[in-house]
Structure 1
C-alpha cells in the first residue's frame, strides 16, 4: 500500500477547497490516486472543521454543513478580514451574511418562530382572499363574455344606427328577450345593449310601461308645414325643369340660370326633393356616379397663377386609332387657356401649345411666376417642354409618383368634355372634325357653362372679374324673394359669395379647414 506524506495530502485537499472546488474524479485521474482514498482524506478534513465542498459545486450548491463551517470561521473577523477571506474562497460577503442570518434564524426561540408564523399566516390569508376575489371577478368576466358571444350569434342584425332611427316592434321584442337571456347568463345590461347597438336608456324606455312599447311615429298625424310649397307651385317647378331649355340640366344648373333671368321658384334642394317625389331624379347619361375629387397643391387667388394640363385620347374613325387632345386650364377661373389636337404625343407639341397660351394670356408680365401642374408623362417631362418652361419663367409641378389623381382639374374637364350629349363617342371621322367639335366645346365651356366650382358663373366671367357683379345680382334676387315669403326661409339665403382662393392638392390641415368652412 502506497504511503503519502502529510504535506502532499494537504496539497491535494487544498485543491478540493474553495476557490478551486475540484472534483474527486478529476483529481483521481490527474494525481493517480484512487477516488476512495481522496474521499477518505476529504472526510477527515471535514471532521477537522475545514470547508471542503468538493465535486465542483458552486457556493449556492454547498451543503448546510459547509455553509455553517464558513460562518464559524468568519464569526470573529472584521470587515477587512472578511473581505480578504471571501476573495480567497471565491465568495461574496453578502453570501456569508445571508448564511449567518439563516443560522441565527434556525436557532431562534420558539416564541419568535411562532410570532413569525402568525405574521406569515395573516399575509397568506390576505393573499388567498385577494386571489379568490380575483378568481370570482375573472369567472364573472368569463361568464359575461360567453353570454355576449351567444347574444351576438343569436342577434339577426345590430339595431344601431343614427339617433332617432325607427325600430319595428317585432325587433324590439326580440332584442328585449335576447338582452334578458344575456343578463341571466351573467352579462351586464349595458354591455348587452351595446352588442345590439342600442343604449340602456333606450331599453329602459321600451319597458317603462310594463309591456314593450311600439314606435308611434309611423301612425302619427303631422300637420302640413305652413311654409311648404303648394301643389301648384310644385307642378310649376316640375314644368320648368322639364321645359326644353332645361331638359338636359340638373337643378344645380337650372337655379343659377333662373336667377340670371330674375326668376326664383324654390331652393336647389327643394328642386331635388320635388324630383325625388315625382321619381324623376335618376342618373342619366353614360357617366358613373360622381366621386369626390382630391383638392389642390398650390393656391391661386387670381387668374394666370396656377395652370394644369394633360393629354387625353379622342376616338378616331377605327378601333385603335386615336387623336390626342392637349388642353391647358386655369384652376382659378376654370378657363381653357389653350388646346390643340395632334396625331401623336410629343413634347414639341406641348411646348408649342404652352408658348401660344403664355403669349395669349400675357403671363410674362404677371407679378408672380406661373405654376404649371401635370402628371409624369413623357410629353410633360420632355427636354423641349422643360426648356420652354425655363425660358418662359414657368414653374413646373408634377403628380406624386404612382398617384393618378393629383391632377383632378384636368381629369374633371375631360370628363365634362366626353360626357356632353353631342360628344361623338363612336369616333371622329378625321382630325378636322375633332378640331371643329373641340372648338365648339371650348366656346361653350368658357362662355356658357356655369361651373359649380366657381359659384355657377362662366369661366370667362370669372377670368375677367365679371363674376363679382353677377353674384351680387343673384344675392339681391334671393334677398328680395325672402322678403316676399319669409316663412319659407329657416335661415340665411343661398350663399352666392365669391370663392377667393382655389387650392391644388392642399395639405391635411388645409383640407380639414376647407371642409369645416
Structure 2
C-alpha cells in the first residue's frame, strides 16, 4: 500500500474541501489515487474536529455539528484571522456570528428564556399601549381638521373683523352655532374660534353661563368725563379762532398768543379737535397738503447674491470743486463689496458696464437679483434700466425725498471716509484715488470684521464660512467658562449665525392688550 506525504494529503484535501469543493472522484482520477483513500482522509480530518462536509453543500445547509465545529474553531480568532478563515472556507463573517449567537441561545436555561420572554411581552404591551394612544391622538386631530376645514367657508362674514367692532346679535348667534357644531364634531373650541376670527375669551364673553347675549355697549350709560368741554367753551374756541385777529392763524399760534394775554381756554390739540368737529379744519395756502407716505418695498436676502445695494459717492481732489466719483455695489446679505470703480464723472453708461462685469463675476445673470439704489440720474438712466432688463435684474429705488431707504451703501461709505488713512485733503489724481479704493476694498472684504454679521469678514460670510467660525468661537468660550466659571455671571456671548437680511423691513405694530 503506497504512502503519501502529509503535504500531498493536505494539498489533495484542499481541493475537495470548501471553498473549492471539487468532486472526490474527479480529484482521485486527476491525482491517480483511489477515491476511497480520499474519503478515508476526510474521515480522519472530521474526527479531529475540523469542519468537513460529506459533500459540497452550501454553508446554509450544513449540519448543526458542522456549524458548532466552526464556532469552536474560530472562538479565539481576531477579526483579521476570522476574515481570512472565512475566505478560505467559503463563508461570510456574518454567518459565523449568527451561528455563534444561535449557540449562545442554546446555552441559556429555561428560566433565562422565560425571563426574556416576559420582558419582551412587557415591552410589546407597552409599545401597543403607546401606539393606541398615538392612534387616538391622530384620530382626534383628524376629526378636528375635518371640522375646521369647513368653518372658514361657513363663517365668511366674520373673516376680517376689526378688533373691537360691534357684532350684531344675529351674527353672534351664527358664529356661536358654527363653533359649537365644530366642537361637537371633535374640534377644540379654541381652534374653532380662531378659524371664525374671534378669540376664546370673546366666545366666553358672548355666552356667559351658556346663554348668548347681545352687545351692551350701544345701550351702556357712560358718565361724562370730568375734563369734558362745556358747550360754552366749545363756542368760545370757535369764536376766538374766527375772530379777525386770529382768523389766519393756526391753533399752534393762537394758544401761545392767548397765553401772552393771560388767557387759557384749552390745549392746542383740543383746538384742532373742536375745529375738526365743526368742519373748519382744512388745508389752506399754496403749500402742498401733507399726504400719506407710501411704505418702501421690502426685500429679504437669505443667501448671497440675492439683493444688492449700490450708490455713488464723491471723493474730493486736491483741486477745489473737482471730484472723483466712486461707484460701489454691496451685497446686503454678506456686506461684501462685490463691485466698484472710480471715474471722473457720473454716467449711466459706466454704471451699466460696472453692473454687467459684476454680474458676470458673481454668476448672477438671470438669477432674479434685486438691485436697490436711490433716485439719482445715473440710477434711473435709460442705459442703466436697459442693462438691468438685459441681465434679468429687478430694480428697486428709494422713496422720493427719503434719504434713509438705502442704509447699506450709506454705512459702507461712512466706513470708507472715516478710515484713518483717508486723505482728508483730497486725492492728487484719478490713479491715486483708484489705488486707495482698491486697498480699502481688499481690507474691508478680507480683514474687516463687520459688527452686523457677528464680527466675521464679509468674504467669509459670502462664502458661507461664518457658521463654522462662530461655532469654533463658541467652543473656545465654553471651554473658558468651564475652566473659570466664576468669571461668567450668565450665558456666554450669543454666537448664533445671523440669518436673513431685510432691506427696509416693515415695522412691527404692537397690538393693544
TM-score by length of 1: 0.43
Higher relative contact order (CA 8 A, sep 6+): 1
